[in-house]
Chains A and B, each alone.
Chain A
Amino acid sequence: MFIRVIILFLCLSATTLSAQSLIGKKAFPIQLKDPAGKLVSLDSFIGKWVLVDFWASWCGPCRLSNRTVRNFYPAWKEKGLEVLGVSLDEDQSSWIRAIKKDRIRWPQVNSPAQWDSQLVLQWQIERIPTTYLIDPKGIIRAMDPNPGSILSFISTN
């Protein structure tokens, strides 16, 4: 019996060590420039739910996901959710062109170092698109939530 407990404990430790989930952690600071060159900070959204959306103009699935966000954005905004797009584009003109083409109407900032940034490491971005749902207190509540679970979070809490 004792051996089984030890084995169970080791298995649980192994999973928690490798997962390193950001859920429940305080959102890492984001302070980047928007298309107009103005500095936008994630802090400025405290008091609202925020969906941080990591993407890039050269990422096909990201461009498709922009379309999904565009469809849900009006309903989300009404319920007090803001979306903050963070692009990994190195080339500013490609980024701005994509914003226009995808008819993006929510706040956008650029982290121009592609995959080589502190931001990518902190937020554990292994692939894009990756989204994180942050609550009004600035705590990370979900990673890659689907529209259904986003609605649940912002409607009940």
Chain B
Amino acid sequence: MRNILRSMIIGFMPVIILFCTLTASAQFSHGRLQATGLTCALCSKSIHQALTKLPFIDSVQPELKTSSFELRFNAQQPVSIPAIRAAVEDAGFFIGGLTLNLSHPLSDQERRSKQFSFGPDVFQFLDEPKAGESLQVIGKGILSGKDFKRMLTRYAKEIKSSGSHILLIPVKN
């Protein structure tokens, strides 16, 4: 009886593995948002309300030490970078920087193709983040003007070729 069960499991292994790599797509568990503006972003109700209204955000916690908001994402909804940007800008601020953390390791297919889909967006990354690293979102409006210019000179080729994909670069936490 045990042998039959064991051979069934072995027989089904390839199917199970294939199924896992096909359906388990990358997801973000949490992130860090820096917002800049004429007044203190962490001190303002408007930006906090705008972010908590987003369906994919579970919680928004301001942090004095890093001058940023720690965002916890809702596992059920895909994170939308354009929605985060719109919320911040509607509140009268600008995104100074946004880093994201994957909720689980990338699949082999994602590692090979260096990209993954998440909801309506396609994310492209330069390298898979190592332990203790986050993914920095590179894009005009998602990075302060000065930082974006610096990224543009360093990763000009990658930024040009990413097109409509959202570019992610691993950074130390």
- Does B129 make an interface contact (CB < 8 A)? no
Q: Is the CB of A115 within 8 A of B48?
A: yes
Task: Tell me whether A60 and B48 are in contact in the complex, defined as CB-CB below 8 angstroms, given that A127-B39, A127-B43, A128-B43 are known contacts.
Answer: no
In contact, A126 and B44 (Cβ under 8 angstroms): yes
Residue A125 at the B interface, CB < 8 A?
Answer: yes
Once the chains are docked, how many angstroms separate the CA of A86 from the CA of B11?
Answer: 64
A57 sits at the interface (CB 8 A): yes
- Among A62, A125, A127, residue most surrounded by chain B Cβ atoms (within 10 Å): A127
Flag whether B21 is at the interface (Cβ < 8 A): no
- Docked pose: A58 CA to B45 CA in angstroms: 13
The residue that A59 contacts in the complex, of B43, B52, B61, with Cβ under 8 A, is B43
Partner of B40, one of A57, A61, A114, A116: A61
Name the one of B39, B62, B64 contacting A63, with C-beta atoms under 8 angstroms. Answer: B64
The reply to whether the CB of B151 lies closer than 8 angstroms to some CB of chain A is no
Point out the residues of chain A lying under 8 angstroms from B62, CB to CB.
56, 58-59
A115 to B64, CA, bound (A): 16
CA distance A116 to B48 in the complex (A): 10
Chief secondary structure at chain A's binding surface: loop
Given contacts A58-B62, A60-B67, A90-B61, A115 and B40 within 8 Å (CB-CB) = no
Contact of A60 among B42, B46, B49 (CB under 8 A): B42
B127 contacts A by Cβ under 8 Å: no
Counting CB contacts under 8 A, is A120 at the interface? yes
- Interface size range on A against B: 10 to 19
Contacts of B63 in A (CB 8 A): 58
Report the Cα distance A115→B49, complex, angstroms. 8
User: Are A59 and B48 touching (Cβ within 8 A)?
Assistant: no
- CB-defined contacts of B39 to chain A, threshold 8 Å: 127
Contacts of B52 in A (CB 8 A): 116
Task: List residues of A (103-157) whose CB comes within 8 Å of B's CBs.
Answer: 114-116, 120, 125-129
- Give the Cβ gap from B104 to chain A, nearest Cβ, in Å: 27
Cβ of B42 and Cβ of A115 under 8 Å apart? no
Bound Cα distance from A82 to B49, whole angstroms? 32
- The docked-state distance in angstroms from the alpha carbon of A63 to that of B43 is 11
Q: Does the CB pair A125–B64 fall under 8 Å?
A: no
Interface residues of B in 25-74 (CB under 8 A from A): 39-40, 42-46, 48-49, 52, 61-64, 67
Query: B interface vs A, CB < 8 Å?
Result: 39-40, 42-46, 48-49, 52, 61-64, 67
* Chain A residues within 8 Å of B, Cβ to Cβ: 56-63, 90, 114-116, 120, 125-129
A and B contact pairs by CB, cutoff 8 A, 6 listed: A56-B62, A59-B40, A60-B42, A60-B43, A126-B45, A126-B46
The 5 closest A-B pairs by CB, nearest first: A58-B62, A58-B64, A115-B45, A59-B43, A127-B44
